[in-house]
Amino acid sequence: MNLHYLLREPKEKKDKNPALILLHGYGSNEEDLFSFAGELPEDYYIFSVRAPYDLQPFGHAWYAIHFDADENKFSDDEQARQSKDLIAEFIDQIVNEYPLDTQSITLIGFSQGAILSYATALSYPEKIARVVALSGYMNENILSDNYTTFNNKHLQFFISHGTVDQVIPVVWGRKAKPFLEKLGLAVTYKEYPVGHGVAPQNFYDFKNWLETTK
């Protein structure tokens, strides 16, 4: 399955340019995060990807979220694992089609897109350099079985969460930092006094992080 995407090409093309891959949240689409592509560094190829599962009446998801009789919600981890593999295949596809610096590919995910960003980076670290995880959490159930044996020490993470997030509690988001640090990985973690969204200061902070971690 080929994933649909929007593309912003870099202002100045070199032999190889870095790339940002934007992964939207549940119920959204590729136009959501792409709306701030114009504010991101000009030397990047920016790919904003549409999740593979269609929702009714509109929107898309990386995996289904189900509710049981007690209104507890749980994730379809099998669909999530399939989406993780699709993102890895998408990276292979764009590397073949565009002159990308394979050592500088960054995932930027919001909510469900952040959950998938963690999983893809830890399961396919050879394809990814950095992750910006906005308002998500670490789902260990969708990581590759032997992910701890992979060569991942180069990975860098910027994680942020709203302290009054009503969709994904901030206590869930906080668990990612110690989880990643236990693997020996570099993590920047920040919180903002907002709900389930990206505050302006949050945007500027991760944009600055992108510039300083090249």
Phi/psi at 9 (nearest 5 deg)?
Answer: -85, 155
The phi and psi torsions of 54 (rounded to 5 degrees) equal -80, 140
Question: Would you write out the chain's pLDDT as a tens digit for each of its 214 residues?
Answer: 689 999 999 998 999 999 999 999 999 999 999 999 999 999 999 999 999 999 988 999 999 987 666 666 678 999 999 999 999 999 999 999 999 999 999 999 999 999 999 999 999 999 999 999 999 999 999 999 999 999 999 999 999 999 999 999 999 999 999 999 999 999 999 999 999 999 999 999 999 999 999 7
Helices and strands, number each (H, E), in the chain: 6, 11
Predicted model pTM: 0.96
pLDDT of residue 66: 75
Nearest Cα neighbor of 106 from 172, 157, 162 is: 157
Q: Which amino acid is at 117?
A: S
pLDDT for 74 equals 78
Specify the residue for token string 């898309």.
60
pLDDT at 48: 98
pLDDT at 75: 85
> What gap in Å lies between CA 165 and CA 158, rounded to an integer?
18
Question: Smallest Cα–Cα separation from 87: which of 45, 44, 117?
Answer: 117
Q: Residue 70 has what pLDDT?
A: 65
- Is the Cβ–Cβ distance between 118 and 136 less than 8 Å? yes
What gap in Å lies between CA 214 and CA 211, rounded to an integer? 6
Taking only the tens place, the pLDDT of each residue in 156-202 is 999 999 999 999 999 999 999 999 999 999 999 999 999 999 999 99
Nearby residues of 157 by Cβ (< 8 Å), 6 or more positions away: 121, 130, 131, 132, 133, 176, 180, 185, 186, 187, 188
Domains of the chain, with CATH numbers?
5-212 (3.40.50.1820)
Cα→Cα distances 93→5, 28, 86, 87, 204, Å: 12, 23, 10, 10, 30
Q: What is the pLDDT of residues 154-165, one digit of tens each?
A: 999 999 999 999
Q: Is 52 helix (H, G, I), strand (E, B) or coil?
A: coil
